[in-house]
Amino acid sequence: MSRRSALRSLTGGTAALAAAAAMPTPLRAAEAAAPALKGNIHHSVSAWCYNSLFDGNTAKMSFEDFCRECAKLGLESVELLGPAQWPAVKKAGLTCAMCNGPDSIGYGWNRMDHHDKLLPKFEEAIPKVAENGFPNIITFSGNRAGMSDEEGLENCVKGLKRLMPFAEKHKINVCLELLNSKRDHKDYMNDHTVWGVEVVKRVGSDRLKLLYDIYHMQIMEGDMIQSIRDYHSFIGHYHTGGVPGRHEIDATQEIFYPAVMKAIIATGYKGFVGQEFVPHRPDALASLKEAIEICDV
């Protein structure tokens, strides 16, 4: 399941979540007390990866149950959510480290005719994020569709420059996500770190950052630890995921996450790292618990 379809399912699954609340919950992973975490990493998780637990006719737990289990595991945030899910997160004593924005992966800032449509939607969304005490909202470049990278870069800069005074006023970070265009998001424009960094440089606001997705950048360019060292001042959030397949971040995949986490910590980063892998084992919460332990360096 892609993030796009999963988020649609999560947002529209209110009735299914209510029905699932009375069902037994799979607590095998959370029954054992989570070990004390070191505190060097602020741990978050992307909710869409766990839709199979709390959405649809075969739901195993409610979304509120999921948030409570996340808190037991030592997570501080459940992310990539909209306003309908925020109350459950706050009820569990968590934050939403990355809120959904009104644009989409294929429809972003790289076209001038999008700007007048996106700006009022962000101007409506950002105050809500601020009122709830959340730090970040996600945004996207959009797809190329034949456009040159330089033209798209210039267009993104023009649109985001219009948005930044509003983000600055409300003290919310707008995070432009880096995604791979090789496998998952064909034709996506912001698919290399240096391109995204150039957008941030030209916009010139401390409230515009990159969302550095480790999974996506391993696929596109590798050399991640050096990129993190070189460009950490432009990065406002990190995501994980196992390569290949975006599954568990254990020894079955090619990224050694403890080294990547240590590189992130060495830059002085104080934000969140969001687990964004899709579990393929039967006990999804056990996979999440393991990922937190792997990244807790």
Q: What is the pLDDT of residue 5?
A: 55
Give the pLDDT confidence of 110-133 residue by residue, as tens digits: 999 999 999 999 999 999 999 999
- Supply the pLDDT for residue 25: 41
pLDDT tops 70 at residue 40 = yes
Taking 50 as the threshold, does the pLDDT of residue 20 lie above it?
A: no
**pLDDT value for 57:** 82
Q: How much is the mean pLDDT over the chain?
A: 91
**Across residues 8-25, what is the average pLDDT?**
42
Radius of gyration of the chain measured on its C-alpha atoms = 18
Beta-bridge partner residues of 239: 213, 274
> CB-based contacts of 105: which residues, under 8 Å, 6+ apart?
3, 4, 140, 142, 143, 179, 185, 188
pLDDT digits (tens, 9 = 90+) for 210-261: 999 999 999 999 999 999 999 999 999 999 999 999 999 999 999 999 999 9
Structural domains for the chain: 3-10+43-295 (3.20.20.150)
Q: Are 201 and 167 in contact (CB under 8 A)?
A: no
For 76-88, what is each residue's pLDDT tens digit? 999 999 999 999 9
Whether residue 190 is predicted with pLDDT greater than 90 in this model: the reply is: yes
What predicted TM-score, i.e. pTM, was given to this entire model?
0.89
- pLDDT above 80 (res 13): no
pLDDT-derived band at 34 (thresholds 50, 70, 90) equals: low
